[in-house]
Amino acid sequence: MAEDMTIVSYLAAGGVLTNPTNVPPRYRAELMKLMATFVDSELAGAAGFADVINAGPGIKERIAAAKIVLEKTDNADRVLRVMAEFGVDADRYASHHPWTARLERDADIGMSRSDHDMRLSVFNYPLDGWVDSVVMNVLMSRAVVIQLTEFSLISYQPLAEAFRTILPVETRHAELAVEGALKLAQKGAASDMQKSVDYWWPRVAASFGSGASNKAGALKDMGLRRSTNAELKTRWEVEAATVLESLGLKRP
Amino acid sequence: MARFHDLTVTDVHKTIRDAVVVTLQPVNGAAEEFDFTQGQYLTFRRDFDGEELRRSYSICAGKDEGILQVGIKRVDGGAFSTWANEELKVGDTIQAMPPMGGFFTALDADSSKHYLGFAGGSGVTPVLSILKTTLAREPKARFTLVYANRGVNTIMFREELEDLKNLYMGRLNVIHILESDAQDIDLFTGLVTQEKCAELFKRWIDIKTVDTAFICGPEPMMLGIAAALRDHGLDDAQIKFELFASAQPGRAKRKTASGDAASSANQTKAAITLDGSTQTITLPKDMSILDGALENAMDAPYACKAGVCSTCRCKVLEGEVEMVANHALEDYEVEKGYVLSCQAFPLTDSVTVDFDQ
């Protein structure tokens, strides 16, 4: 049997890795980065949203918000468990960092991340009350669904499986966000909502990373990416604009 | 973090000339931690000439057999597998981490699923665990195993599979594909390729009834089978892989001792290899290797910068560094020269590190 295939050519041919023992070093680094980005974003997102639960106008809204906080934390835990198989101290990881920390609302950091965690840049901005949080969730949850759909097919099987479990949960969060937004729109909050759309749209768009990533080819060969940043971002722009339209809002 | 436990060897027997089946008994009250799920593997460690080697082997026992058993095939030049095949004996103590891995699907006693397993050589070990457990716990399930080997005398667990076929009459079907030994049916000779699978799906396996497929074998075989399964309508969530690269490194080299331990200035010259290219930078000794690389526009990997996540791991090839915190790397990794670059500060006037190893 031809057993002389290298891991690199196996991956380039669409092969799948299944445990830490046969993961090459550069693959390991990119995979860890991807997982850290997801975990940090979920933990920071949940921590930020937790503060908003009490701002919910009714009990249904508070339940939805609390559910989202709980489930995002749970999703972080799922991926953290995959990281733990690579030697990460999961308990310390979750508690070593102030996940609620935010920058100023008008800070302009583009796509850059803070020095000490890997959360997507968008999670460094503070939420400003209930309406703002709902709008942020409408836009960001769409982005998360698009990213997760992409990453559900990556070449590290345990992570692909974790993402496939997480995807329907995050999809439900996107639906909850739209339901909440619809209520607000019906109550005549449209102009406040549009202000938040104008604020969050470019920041969520930036979370897709730069269009000209010089690593895209290498990531594709490793089976860690299929689409480019630009393709994912375009997909999001189309889908998010459609959602906004259904709410009587428009993209900036 | 997972920890190693002592296990006593209670039985060792050959299944073919160069593969042993080892039965293990956890000691010191660790039995609960070794309660495995079908298809999982154990990671063993052992010292060879002062250097620790770790190797993973799949459990071949079913859940209901009440034993912990792994199959170890001897690999040419493989220190651990050769030792297990030639020296390991009843009464020995061996160290392993609790079972790990996700090569399984949830069982449901009421379901009547059709499972399809593909195994190449010693890749049969986890598949055997899965099929034994599934047939015992899902009384209405069927299992088809396509089992590839070089020849008749290299088929691990051949007799056990025959016994299982008799025990689960009509529910277990085993198709042996032999690379070099001729068989009555031409189709059953050769390699298990994408084309061969397509042929099998025409007449021998009703692929439309298959709910889940398990594949464990060498890389090219897994690729071919997966492609054939996708061609025939299975999606990625229905295909479970287990890969233990045939090229698990035999033995890692030790870190080279540094030539110049003494320091004069407060500066270090660091040669940093990343993505195949090496850049030499100068950094102060109070700057971490990672920050030095980042300041010089190198795209070094990192995440937490707190010594927790190990994303920034690199290997020191020359010179000395000091790690101020380490919550991620284990002793054996540190011994091999791995450091967390976010926590590693140079001690010598020159260091050479590699992110690609």
- Number of domains forming the structure of chain B: 3
Residue of B nearest to A13 (CA): B223
Whether residue A113 has pLDDT greater than 70: no
For residue B150, tell me if it sits in a domain. Answer: yes
Q: Is residue A66 part of a domain?
A: yes
Task: Identify from B219, B223, B234, B312 which residue to disrupt to test chain A contact, counting A C-beta atoms within 10 A and taking the largest count.
Answer: B219
Instruction: Check whether residue B120 and residue B228 sit in a common domain.
Output: yes
Residue B257 lies in a domain: no
Q: A158 CB near a chain B CB, below 8 Å?
A: yes
- Domain residue limits at B19: 5-96
| Mean pLDDT of the region B40-44 | 92
What CA–CA distance (Å, rounded) separates B152 from B143?
A: 22
In this predicted structure, what is the pLDDT of residue A246? 95
Residue A115 falls inside a structural domain: no
Q: Tell me: the pLDDT tens digits for A56-73?
A: 999 999 999 999 999 999
B357–A40: do the CB atoms touch at under 8 Å? no
B275 CB neighbours in chain A (<8 A) are 26, 218
The reply to whether A7 falls in a domain is: no
| CA dist B206 → B82, B148, B202 (Å) | 40, 19, 8
Q: Which helix (H) or strand (E) holds B299?
A: none
Does B247 fall in a domain?
A: no
Paired tokens of B325: 């915190």
Please check whether residue A16 touches B, CB under 8 A.
Answer: yes
Clarify whether residues B82 and B118 are in a common domain: no
Measured distance CA(A97)–CA(A35) in Å, rounded: 16
Q: Which of B102, B309, B333 sits opposite A83 (nearest CB)?
A: B309
Q: Which of B225, B217, B220 lies closest to B196, judged by CA?
A: B225
Residue B300, burial from CB neighbour count under 10 angstroms (0-12, 13-18, 19+): buried
Contact B239, A16 (CB under 8 A): no
The separation between the first and the last C-alpha atoms of chain B, rounded to the nearest angstrom, is 23
Interface test with A, best of B308, B329, B333, B357 (most A CBs within 10 A): B308
With contacts defined as CB-CB under 8 Å, which chain B residues touch A164? Answer: 237
pLDDT on residue B2: 62
Burial (CB count <10 Å: 0-12, 13-18, 19+), residue B182: exposed
The predicted model gives A19-33 an average pLDDT of 87
Mean pLDDT, residues B237-263: 54
Read off the CATH number of the domain in which B320 is found.
Answer: 3.10.20.30
Joined together, the tokens standing for residue B298 give: 């190198």
> Are B120 and B174 found together in one domain?
yes
How many domains does the structure of chain A reveal? 1
CATH number, domain with residue B236: 3.40.50.80
Last residue of a domain, one of B96, B125, B140: B96
The minimum CA-CA distance between B227 and chain A, rounded to whole Å, is 9
Cα(B310)–Cα(A87) distance, integer angstroms: 7
Task: Report the gap between the CA of B203 and the closest CA in chain A (Å).
Answer: 24
- Cα–Cα distance for residue pair B100/A18, rounded to 1 Å: 11
Distances B61 to B41, B66, B128, B155, B273 between C-alpha atoms, Å: 11, 8, 7, 17, 44
ipTM: 0.75
Sign for the CA dihedral angle at A190, A191, A192, A193 comes to: positive
Residue B14 inside a domain? The answer is: yes
Q: B218 and B147: one domain?
A: yes
B206 shares its domain with B136: yes
Whether A5 and B218 lie within 8 Å, measured CB to CB: yes
Among B1-5, B37-41, B349-353, whose mean pLDDT is lowest? B1-5
Least confident of B118-132, B157-171, B289-303: B289-303
Instruction: State the Cα–Cα distance between residues B319 and B348, nearest whole angstrom.
Output: 6
- Classify residue A9: in a domain, yes or no: no
Domain that residue A84 falls in: 17-103+121-246
Res. B249 pLDDT band, cuts 50 70 90:
very low
Please judge whether A2 and B218 are an interchain contact, meaning their C-beta atoms are less than 8 angstroms apart: yes
Please report whether residue B159 resides in a domain.
yes
User: Containing H/E element for A79?
Assistant: helix A59-84
- Whether residue A114 lies inside any domain: the answer is no
Contact A100, A47 (CB under 8 A): yes
Q: Which helix (H) or strand (E) holds A204?
A: helix A190-206
Whether residues B130 and B226 share a domain: the answer is: yes
| φ, ψ (nearest 5 deg) of residue A54 | -70, -15
| Same-domain check for residues B135 and B219 | yes
* DSSP result, B179-225: SSS--SSGGGBS---HHHHHHHHHHT--GGG--EEEEES-HHHHHHH
d(CA B23, CA A44): 46
- DSSP assignments along A111-175, one per residue: T---SS----GGGGSPP-HHHHHHHHHHHHHHHHHHHHHHHTT-SBHHHHHHHHHHHHHHHHHHH
Q: Which residues on A lie below 8 Å from B226 (Cβ)?
A: 14, 16
Identify the closest residue of chain B to A91 by CA–CA distance.
B1
C-alpha distance from B356 to closest chain A C-alpha (Å): 6
Does any domain span residue B195?
Answer: yes
Question: Looking at residue A212, what is its pLDDT?
Answer: 66
- Taking an 8 Å cut-off on Cβ atoms, the answer to whether A16 and B100 are in contact is no
Residue B263's pLDDT band, with cuts at 50, 70 and 90, is very low
Out of B63, B96, B129, pick the residue that ends a domain: B96
**Are the C-beta atoms of residues A52 and A130 closer than 8 Å to each other?**
yes
As given in the structure block, the two tokens for residue A207 are: 């979370």
Q: What is the mean pLDDT of residues B286-310?
A: 86
CB contact under 8 A, B148 and A1: yes
B224 domain-assigned: yes
> Is A95 contained in some domain?
yes
Residue with the two structure tokens 């039965």: B23
Which CATH number covers residue A21? 1.20.1260.10
* Residue B303 with chain A: CB contacts under 8 Å: 32-33, 36-37, 40, 117-118
Q: What is the DSSP letter of B258?
A: P
Both B65 and B91 in one domain: the answer is: yes
List of chain B residues whose C-beta atoms are within 8 Å of the C-beta of residue A218: 275
| Structural domain contains residue B252 | no
Residues 90-149, chain A, touching B (beta carbon < 8 A): 92-93, 96-97, 115-118
A109 occurs within a structural domain: no
Residues B118 and B230 in one domain: yes
Hey, of A17, A42, A88, which one would you mutate to test binding to chain B, going by the most B CBs within 10 A of its CB?
A88
Compute the distance between CA of residue A46 and CA of residue A35 in angstroms, rounded to an integer: 16
Is residue B82 located within the same domain as residue B123?
no
Q: Is residue A38 one of the residues assigned to a domain?
A: yes
Claim: this prediction has a pTM higher than 0.95: no
Segment B26-45 shows an average pLDDT of 91
Q: Which two tokens stand for residue B168?
A: 């689960």
Verify that B306 and B340 share a domain, yes or no. yes
Say if B219 is an interface residue toward chain A (CB within 8 Å).
yes
> SS3 of B350, please?
strand
